[in-house]
């Protein structure tokens, strides 16, 4: 639910609002632009480090960058209920890699081209 716009899931259209939550947007800005991007200060002239987007010459949001942020947000929520976090999926652990790959895989299939285009237009 935390990955959906307004934190609401439409059971008849699971892609409606998917990967458009306020929390995901804030997480994205935190990861790729730095904390000042979400705390109202904006880019600071006193900043000592460039944001990850600038360091990596990112000019547009990509499906992998959204998936990475969604994985971090999911980990944040799962911290209270999952005893271990691993790249693989052992019993009782959150499989970070599978979650990340599932979002990328979802949006790379040909049938999802329209949804992928709409999502990237929305983010950019």
Q: What is the pLDDT of residues 64-110, one digit of tens each?
A: 999 989 998 887 766 656 555 555 555 556 788 999 999 999 999 98
Residue 24 inside a domain? The answer is yes
- pTM of the full predicted structure? 0.75
Strand, helix or coil for residue 95? strand
Q: What is the pLDDT of residue 119?
A: 95
Measured CA to CA, the distance from residue 51 to residue 43 in angstroms comes to 10
Domain span at 77: 5-40+50-123
User: Is 94 domain-assigned?
Assistant: yes
Question: In sequence order, what are the beta bridge partners of 18?
Answer: 4
Cα–Cα distance, 26 to 37 (Å, whole number): 8
Nearest to 32 by CA among 5, 56, 2, 53: 53
Backbone angles phi, psi at 120, to 5 degrees: -65, -35
* Residue 45 counted as domain residue: no
CB 76 within 8 A of CB 85: no
- Name the domain count of the chain: 1
pLDDT value at residue 27:
86
Give a yes or no: residue 68 inside a domain: yes
């Amino acid at each position: 639910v935390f990955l959906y716009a307004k934190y609401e899931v439409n059971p008849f259209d699971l892609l409606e609002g998917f990967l458009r939550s306020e929390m995901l947007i804030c997480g994205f800005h935190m990861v790729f632009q730095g904390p000042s991007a979400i705390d109202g200060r904006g880019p600071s002239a006193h900043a000592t480090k460039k944001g990850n987007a600038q360091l990596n010459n990112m000019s547009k949001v990509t499906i992998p960058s959204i998936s990475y942020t969604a994985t971090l947000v999911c980990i944040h929520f799962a911290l209270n209920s999952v005893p271990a976090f691993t790249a693989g999926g052992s019993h009782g652990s959150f499989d970070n890699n599978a979650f990340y790959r599932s979002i990328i895989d979802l949006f790379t299939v040909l049938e999802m081209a329209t949804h992928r285009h709409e999502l990237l237009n929305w983010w950019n």
